[in-house]
Amino acid sequence: MMGPGYGYGYNMMDGGSWVGGLLLFLFGLVTVSGIVLLVVWAVRQSTGRAAAGGSGPPAGAVGHDEAVAIAKRRLASGEITKEQYEEVMRVLGG
């Protein structure tokens, strides 16, 4: 004999749990989609690419004025020699 709670409608093999199966499928679909979106976001963050429609220079880009300021600062701190500074300025066109 069957105990209490094991009557008709509680057996998953009867086909009465199609709603549960559908919910499980949807949960899996949402989970996989979330993982894919997380990976895409992580790759974009690690490569420094702007989002679609983004504007501005790529990450790490340095403008001419900033490059000149960096070269002057490095010369003043003794990181580079005067000859190296002049070479940098020649390359930058300044």
User: What pLDDT, on a 0 to 100 scale, did the predictor assign at position 65?
Assistant: 84
Buried b (16+ CB within 10 A) or exposed e, 9-25: eeeeeeeeeeeeeeeee
H or E segment and range at residue 60: none
User: What pLDDT, on a 0 to 100 scale, did the predictor assign at position 31?
Assistant: 95
User: What pLDDT, on a 0 to 100 scale, did the predictor assign at position 59?
Assistant: 54
User: What pLDDT, on a 0 to 100 scale, did the predictor assign at position 10?
Assistant: 54
Show pLDDT as tens, one digit a residue, over the chain (94 residues).
Answer: 455 555 555 555 555 577 888 889 999 999 999 999 999 999 988 886 555 555 555 555 667 888 889 999 999 999 999 999 999 889 888 6
